[in-house]
Amino acid sequence: MKLFEIVTAILLISVSVIGFAQDAKDGLDDAFDAIEPRVIEWRRDFHENPELSNREFRTAGKVADHLRSLNIDAVRTGVAHTGVVGTLVGGKPGPVIALRADMDGLPVLEQTGVAFASKARGEFNGQDVPVMHACGHDTHIAMLMGAAEVLANNREQLAGTVIFIFQPAEEGPPAGENGGASMMIQEGVLDGPNPPEAIIGLHAWPGNVGTLLFRSGSFMAAADGLQITVVGRQTHGSSPWLGVDPIYVAGQITTAIQGIPARHLDITKGPAVITIGSIHGGVRGNIIPQEVKMLGTIRTFDVGVREELHAKLRKTVVAIAEANGATATVTIEGNVPVTGNHPDLLRRMMPTLNWAAGSENVNEGRLITGAEDFSFFQERIPGLYLMLGINDPATPLSERPSNHSPMFIADERALIVGVRMLVGFAMDYAEASQD
């Protein structure tokens, strides 16, 4: 055979192999059209019936029933309390990958006014609270259920195995409990004779509807929980000199620690944020209390910056307390690592992003100081984490409710884009991994 003929034959074989996954994906338009109304229906049901972290019993039950109805293998429930995991073996050999959605709501009183608004209540750290899907996890569950159905109904075209991970407690477990991604990993969700080698997650975001936002490398911040306890000496409010006022000390601490990111850290290595979100102390206006508890969060993008911030924070808090005759203890715990996008995996899967949303709707984003425990999965295997826009472009950016707002609501036109992205990742990964 002449050299020209050999090269031509190789090119033809390559084109047919490369085109297989693409052709299979493009043949799913009818499947996407059919599943879209069901995805919207599921989303509205979950939105109307949200459940708090580690308490996603109804949600998990509906997810598990759906996976079993699709003849998905080895459906496991009760993983990390309420998590659900299912395995779909494709009709062709290939790698194992994972698709993940989080399931928990938040202690927020919904104010959207939609017909399917939540009226649910739950118990959070001993308090009776309203519950709302104020972060879009209802859309995440519904999109992954839709992707599972499309893939299960087209399993013969799937090269490899897909593990569906429905995760509880992404927002953090209740006080005194374990949970979330780290607990699922501890319980073996990434283990076994054929563990997944890559994972993808999506998050609803107040971008333009149907857009996908990515960033190579670091994308979302590492998060640390912060607790500061200031102990003074209780006395009558009319005579503060007879005691030590921990409320006054707490005020100085709150102000002073804001200077740490602004004046003591090298911001060229990555931004940092310290926020005090809760201060509790005292019971009456005329009693200076004995103790004040402060709760907050720390966000960083660089390991060295994080360590330097922690050290400076502890030193500053203790010094301010001592200067006022009080004592202070600093507890930093619950670290969630940086969430990002594996650069090589992102490069290889970029054609899939463009296929799912349209290249004009795929954009590179800036750093986000929010955090995600999806990062625990990414400590073990390469992963993609993408933001899915869920707001009407006609609504000005300044008027779009943020995640965790009582007004947060998703434009349902975005949901099918998320389904396409999840299905596309599963269909394309085997071929892309050979690039």
Known catalytic residues are 104, 170
CA distance 374 to 405: 21
Burial 72-106 (b: 16+ CB within 10 A, else e): beebebebbbbbbbbbbbbeeebbbbbbbbbbbbb
Given a contact cutoff of 8 angstroms between Cβ atoms, the answer to whether 139 and 410 are in contact is: yes
Residues 6+ apart with CB under 8 A from 252: 320, 324
Neighbour tally for 143: CB within 10 Å: 30
Using alpha carbons only, give the angle 81, 85, 87 rounded to the nearest 5 degrees: 165
CA distance 99 to 201: 6
Rounded to the nearest 10°, the torsion over CA 297, 301, 303, 306 is: -30
**Strands annotated E in 119-271:** 121-124, 127-130, 159-167, 199-208, 212-214, 217-220, 222-231, 235-236
Classify burial at 405, counting beta carbons within 10 Å of its beta carbon; exposed 0-12, middle 13-18, buried 19 or more: middle
CA distance 180 to 4: 57
Rounded to the nearest 10°, the torsion over CA 31, 32, 37, 40 is: 140
For helices 29-48 and 415-432, give the axis angle rounded to 10 degrees.
130
- Rg of the Cα atoms in the chain: 25
Residues 6+ apart with CB under 8 A from 140: 101, 102, 103, 201, 202, 203, 204, 418
Q: Which residues pair with 166 in a beta bridge?
A: 84, 101
Query: Tokens 């299905």 belong to which residue?
Result: 423
Given a contact cutoff of 8 angstroms between Cβ atoms, the answer to whether 42 and 140 are in contact is: no
CA distance 425 to 200: 8
